[in-house]
Amino acid sequence: MKLDTSGFETSMPMIGFGSSSDMLDGFSSVPSFDLPRTTDFDGFQKEAVQMVKPAKGTTTLAFIFKEGVMVAADSRASMGGYISSQSVKKIIEINPYMLGTMAGGAADCQFWHRNLGIKCRLHELANKRRISVSGASKLLANMLYSYRGMGLSVGTMIAGWDETGPGLYYVDNEGGRLKGDRFSVGSGSPYAYGVLDSGYKYDMTVEEASELARRSIYHATFRDGASGGVASVYHVGPKGWKKLSGDDVGELHYHYYPVAPATAEQVMEEAAAE
């Protein structure tokens, strides 16, 4: 396809090649545009596509250890590239002995966790005893399964302590429900898994486990653009859950990696005598 460049023609003679070259400053040869050789001239630049499932922009994690369940999350909410909030509560208190984490759509997670809390309370009233973590997670999973395909976005972990001891389940908007010892959900989860898996031992004290959880969230906020804000850490024990800490990750970075004062970069030198 040749463009009409008659408007550019000058009285100067043409040098061998048509396209402008940097060496000649673009002045000496007849100017013309490099045209891409493609069938879809107007749309080829839009065709940079990628098979990527939109990831849930967050980092949450939970793990079972000797003293119960440790649950941690960041606090950033992002809309595409824009940070809409740095102070979102992503650990939802379903009832005094059960916690849920939020990943995916904030409204979806908040609503369905509250709905789950209602169902758990009704179960307690009807059966005169607390619902198990297994039962609560099943209620949520079945509810989400019935809305499958309608665009809900929920990636949550239900952590609690019941008669059988500590319980941890992962439930998502596809209706999937998994029992496990260690989970991390969200776009920052690969980074959190790296730190969590290498530092995990079943026999940890509460302090060691909370430090591991805090570090995992910190490392995920460093590498992942969609995670940040405050790293909250909760512990679920036999008497219920307790919030252990909420540290700003901006400050955590300089706490873990303090900046050494720079030494003088230039040394004054005597001018060489002629």
Q: Where are the alpha helices (DSSP H) in 169-205?
A: 189-199
Instruction: Find out whether 77 and 187 touch, Cβ atoms under 8 Å.
Output: no
Nearer to other proteins, 44 or 111 (CB): 44
Q: What region does 268 belong to: left with phi over 0, alpha with psi -120 to 50, or beta? A: beta
Dist CA 155 CA 7 (whole Å): 60
Site string for other proteins, 224-243 (x = CB under 8 A): xxxxxx--------------
- Is 58 known to be catalytic? yes
Q: What are phi and psi of 97, to 5 degrees?
A: -125, 10
Per CB under 8 A, the list member of 26, 96, 165, 180 interacting with other proteins is 26
Contact flag: residue 270 with other proteins (CB under 8 A): no
Count of residues near other proteins by CB under 8 A: 44
178 binding other proteins? (CB under 8 A): no
* Sheet strand arrangement including 60-65: 182-185, 60-65, 68-73, 230-237, 240-248
Among positions 52-91, residues that touch other proteins (CB under 8 A) are 52-55, 57, 74, 76, 78-83, 86
Which member of 10, 38, 58, 156 is catalytic?
58
Q: Which of 35, 107, 122, 178 binds other proteins (CB under 8 A)?
A: 35
Element (H, E) at 253: helix 249-256
Q: Which residues bind other proteins (CB under 8 A)?
A: 20, 22, 25-26, 33-36, 41, 45-46, 48-55, 57, 74, 76, 78-83, 86, 187, 221-229, 249-250, 253-254, 259
